[in-house]
Amino acid sequence: GIAIETIAVRALRGKGVLRLLASPWLIARAVLQALAVLRKHRPRAVISFGGFAAGPGGIAAWLLKVPLLVHEQNRTPGITNRILARMARQLLCGFPDSFPGRDCHWLGNPVRAELTALPLPAQRLRANDAALHLLVLGGSQGARVLNQTLPIVLARLGTAVPYQVRHQCGANQRDATHDAYSRMQVRAGIEPFIEDMAAAYAWADLVICRAGALTLAELCAVGAASVLVPYPHAVDDHQTRNAEFMVAQSAAVLLPESPDLARHLAAQILRLHRDRASLLAMAQAARALAQPRAAEQVAEALIAQASP
């Protein structure tokens, strides 16, 4: 197994004035605890994947002169990785422009091997007259706006688009999502969680989802066409920045959350159903961005920095 050490650390950003005033003490305490952990285990290299919990360990590594690497998953780095990047010996990036002006090795985000092993898009996507397979992904918590909007979209399309739907809605929103489809008299396969994502992606012609970094890495790994609806309240609006990269490479469609989301989403589904060549081109553009060796390259970079 993997040994886990814990330190007392809490998020500071957006947590109110009192938390901000206490931050010097909280940070100092966490760094001291991280120093004790590193002295105990004596690592030859340390890597930060971001998030507030990574900060003290990264600072402790720098203080102890242990080689520090930073891997940033998103196109816009979080505050922890922005700070640690100044101390790091090597920057690894999920997007090619995560740290403008810095030497950053673009190697993507790790995904499961079974995703990269799927057949290429041209072998998977269905013919023009076949029902369009729609895969809706809301993440483990479910994206409420997708759960509410997709039934409206599909009811609006009616018989104009023959389709089949698999909708992953999140464990806490299964009943509400089922009721939303029932009210619209739309049939869909509703799943709180999808165990076999490789099979789900292999089944899908078009994916409708948020724009988290790891989701986009999966879309690229399998070569999946997608309509991205970024979560608008993410820190630094990083999901929109992630999605804009995909759009710039013709690898996805971006639709912001808005009162007109249902209308715009219906129009995109209808367009891509009628123009399967564009659907295939989008999937192939996504596949061209895949970084199937990301996990291996992260490990190789870590080992290289740890070597004498």
Query: Token pair for residue 35?
Result: 């120093």
Asked whether residue 303 carries a pLDDT value surpassing 70, the answer given is yes
Name the percent of the chain lying above pLDDT 70.
95
For residue 9, the model assigns a pLDDT of 85
Residue linked to tokens 């997007």: 95
Over 80: is that where the pLDDT of 111 sits? Answer: yes
Q: Where are the domains of the chain?
A: 17-111+292-306, 114-289
Pairing of strands 68-72, 90-93: parallel
Q: Assign residue 194 a region: left if phi > 0, alpha if psi is -120 to 50, beta otherwise? A: beta
Of 130, 156, 169, 94, give the one whose Cα is nearest residue 279: 130
pLDDT tens, position by position, 174-211: 999 999 999 999 999 999 999 999 999 999 999 999 99
Are the C-beta atoms of 45 and 14 separated by less than 8 Å?
A: no
pLDDT digit string, tens, across residues 160-181:
999 999 999 998 999 999 999 9
Examine the pLDDT at 15 and tell me if it is beyond 60.
no
Q: How confident is the model at residue 235 (pLDDT cuts 50, 70, 90)?
A: confident
Q: What is the pLDDT of residue 139?
A: 75
CB 171 within 8 A of CB 284: no
117-154 burial by CB neighbour count: b if 16+ within 10 A, else e?
ebeebeebbeeeeeebbbbbbbbeebbebbbebbbbbb
1-15, 47-61, 244-258: which has the minimum mean pLDDT? 1-15
- Tokens (6 digits) for 206: 């078009």
- Domain 17-111+292-306 -> CATH class: alpha beta
Q: Over range 228-244, report the average pLDDT.
A: 95
Please state which CATH number belongs to domain 114-289. Answer: 3.40.50.2000
